[in-house]
Structure formats: structure tokens, C-alpha cells
Amino acid sequence: MGIRYYAHANNAAEAEPVEGPATAVSDDPWGFAPGSLGVLDAGFEEEEEEYDFERDTLYLDKAWSLLERVTRPQFGESARPAHRMFDGHPTMTKRGDYVPFVRVLTPAEVSAAAADIAELSDAEVAERLGPEAPFGTTRSDDVEYALQYLRDARSFMADLAARGRGMTYTIG
């Protein structure tokens, strides 16, 4: 189990802005895909192209937290555009469970994030997750784990940007 990251393409120009704890998200992690019920259906009523699960979804497992650390602003830096696609944390409840975090990115935000992560080098990832990293320690295999999922994120975002699509992601 644990907290994981799920994203899907959407027509964000028509979707309602959503950011923060999502109280109407299905227990099914892919429950936000088109045709599901709940808060994340916005933007799919009149799709311009057919939804393709393989192309239009991104799963980052638990690597999202490493990628958030890599893209997080450090010591006076401004936030890089890619940080917006990894930022957010579920809201913990008194019962010991959590409410997932959800964010919708517009096509313009997707385009900026896609360009940014395309420029993010593997060496920079290794540096930001290495033993001297400013935001906590990492395990020896964390760099390769993060790079594996970063490659998936680069492809997903480049495709969305090329098609002028937005995205919705859930951390939970």
C-alpha cells in the first residue's frame, strides 16, 4: 500500500480547477479516468480525441516524492515549472488514513513542465538525491528508481504538450 501518484490527460481548458484534498475521489486509483464518477470527470464530456489508457495515464508509484525533492526550489531558487506536477501531499486524518491530494494542470502548465523536465539531466537528479542532498537522506537505489519514473514522466508530458492537453494528478 502506501501513498502513490496517478495522473491522466484531460481537456483542462474545460475542467474545473481542482487543487488540494479530494473528498470525492474513488478508492480505485484509476477511478478518475474518463467514465468514472466523482470530482475528476470534468473535461471529458466532449473529448476531442479518444482516451487511450496506455498513452493518457502516468503512474509514478512512490517515486513522486523523490521527483518532488529533485524539482523543489533550493536556497533562494524560484520554483521550476516541473515542480508543479509533483507538488502536493495527502491530508492525514485523525483516523490514521488520508485524503488524496488532487491538482489539475492547464495545457500551458503542462507545456512548461514538459520543457523543464526534458532539460532536467540525469546528473542533476543524482546530485539532488545524492548523499550531500539538502532535503534528507536517500537510499542507494533511489537515484535509479527516480530516473526510471522520470523517463516515463518525460514521455507522458512531452506527448501531452504536443497534443495541447492538460492533466489531472492524484497523490494518495
Q: What is the pLDDT of residues 20-78, one digit of tens each?
A: 555 544 555 555 554 443 334 444 444 456 778 889 999 999 899 999 999 999 888 88
Q: Give me the helices (H) in 80-141, please.
A: 107-119, 122-129
DSSP-based helix, strand, coil % in the chain, nearest 5:
35, 15, 45
At 111, the pLDDT band (50, 70, 90 cuts) reads very high
Q: Give the closest residue to 145 by CA, choosing from 163, 131, 126, 172.
A: 126
Q: What's the pLDDT score for residue 35?
A: 42
pTM of full prediction above 0.85: no
Is the separation of the CB atoms in 74 and 99 below 8 Å? no
30 and 6 Cβ atoms separated by less than 8 Å:
yes
Beta bridge pairs of residue 99:
91
Considering just the CA atoms, what is the radius of gyration of the chain in Å? 16
CA distance 50 to 90: 30
Q: Where are the domains of the chain?
A: 5-171
DSSP state, residue 17: P
Q: Rounded to a whole number, what is the largest CA-CA distance in the chain?
A: 49
The amino acid sitting at 94 is: K
CATH number given to 5-171: 3.40.1760
